[in-house]
Amino acid sequence: MEHSEPLPPRPTEAVAYELARALRAERILCTTAGRAQAAIQLAADRPSAQVTCWFLDEHLRQLAAAGQGGENLSLLCAADPPTAPIDLAVLPLSMSGDAELTRDLLQLAFDRLTIGGKLVAVTNNRRDLWLRNQLADYTKHLSAERGKETMAYITTKNAPLKRLRNYQCEFAFRDAGNLIFAISRPGVFSHRHIDPGARRLLEFAEVTPGMKLLDIGCGAGTVALALARREPTCQVTAIDSNIRAVQCTAAGVARNELTNVTVRHSSAGDFVAAEPFDLVLANPPYFSDYEIADRFVAAAARSLRPGGKLLLVTKTPQWYAESLPRRWGEVVATEVKQYFVIGATRP
């Protein structure tokens, strides 16, 4: 693989690296605010150390893999970090991130740390109090350093954690008279509840016996689970690049005792089955300036049979209104409860 020039790290990652490089450690666990720059540099600085950068999303892991990295660096996509003990945890964080996911990350990092191990946590809120309070639950010995754009903390694990909080949850919702149970964890869309956009998709989805359905970006699997229960003769494939989403959807399949759902972990966009799909459903994320939405739409085009239907939901329909008619037929957008459900037919 050809390596691209490394991108400059975001401020939280740059500060996290500067603090971590001064700490002695041979077993290092990192998360990343960008492309694993801190982990890559720490591995280069310490050839004898084992450095792991942990991702929940395979697409982000693959982007980071384009950077430089030695044999002592592992870029890992997994629902949880390795259970092996570590000497140092390095966590660049964002004040706009998921608060429950941040709590989960902190707990997992402290659990893996050996006694005497260090944790470096950096937020892009230079006036932070929230992260400080979270860290205070683990230790009373906390050093803080305020930068131009960041607040950084270094703390030491002095005792084993007394208990581990379980952030996984189960929630229930109804669809077509059926009670559906879904499992979710922090970092999974949408955690602890069914997303209103998923509700809109379910309202518009028409499922007939024997159909083959594809749910791209399944999250906790609410759409896939509901449609599989609605019509037991259909075959549903649920896909996500987030490994926790795949884990939770698979757990939801087992919880609802469904036999007609296949769950796959993939970010490649190649979802063609033995036979093409009749219906593709998607609730694309709003970030990335429609790059991910474009990947979803392109994957749907490759996966559908001629005449097959794409059904997606969004709050911002303009990009779809401009893009889909060039490649799709019968494009119709319907506004319902602050969302737009867009249907299109593969020519």
Of the candidates 164, 171, 162, the residue with the CA atom closest to the CA atom of residue 226: 171
**Cα-Cα-Cα-Cα dihedral of 300, 304, 310, 311, to 10°?**
-90
Same fold, 11-156 and 169-345: yes
The pLDDT, as a whole number, for residue 66 is 85
Q: Which of 118, 114, 128 is nearest to 156 (CA)?
A: 118
Beta strands in the chain (DSSP E): 27-30, 50-55, 73-77, 86-93, 113-123, 142-146, 151-156, 169-175, 178-184, 212-216, 235-240, 261-265, 277-282, 304-314, 329-336, 339-345
Q: Which pLDDT does position 2 carry in this prediction?
A: 44
Q: Output the pLDDT for position 347.
A: 92
- So what's the pLDDT on residue 71? 93
Report d(CA 47, CA 19) in Å as an integer.
18
User: In which order are the strands placed within the sheet that holds 329-336?
Assistant: 261-265, 235-240, 212-216, 277-282, 304-314, 339-345, 329-336
Write out the CATH class of domain 169-345. Answer: alpha beta
User: What pLDDT does 272 receive?
Assistant: 63
- Calculate ∠ Cα 106-36-44, nearest 5°: 110
> How would you classify the pairing of strands 339-345 and 304-314?
antiparallel
CA distances from 87 to 14, 55, 194, 306 (A): 20, 19, 39, 55
Domain boundaries, the chain: 11-156, 169-345
My answer on whether omega of the bond before 190 falls inside 30° of 0, hence cis, is yes
235-273 pLDDT per residue, tens? 999 999 999 999 999 999 999 999 999 999 998 777 666
11-156 architecture in CATH? 3-Layer(aba) Sandwich (3.40)
What pLDDT tens digit does each residue of the chain (347 aa) get? 344 566 789 999 999 999 999 999 999 999 999 999 999 999 999 999 999 999 999 999 999 998 777 899 999 999 999 999 999 999 999 999 999 999 999 999 999 999 999 999 999 999 999 999 999 999 888 999 999 999 999 999 999 999 999 999 999 999 999 999 999 999 999 999 999 999 999 999 999 999 999 999 999 999 999 999 999 999 999 999 999 999 999 999 999 999 999 999 998 777 666 689 999 999 998 877 899 999 999 999 999 999 999 999 999 999 999 999 999 999 999 999 999 999 999 99
Can you give the pLDDT at residue 113? 98
Q: Which residue bears the tokens 């140092």?
A: 88
The DSSP symbol for 242 reads B
What pLDDT is recorded for position 116?
Answer: 96
125-143 pLDDT, tens digit per residue, is: 999 999 999 999 998 889 9
Instruction: Locate 342 and state its tokens.
Output: 């867009």
pLDDT digits 0-9 by tens, 151-163: 999 999 999 999 9
For the sheet with 86-93, list strands across it. Answer: 73-77, 50-55, 27-30, 86-93, 113-123, 151-156, 142-146
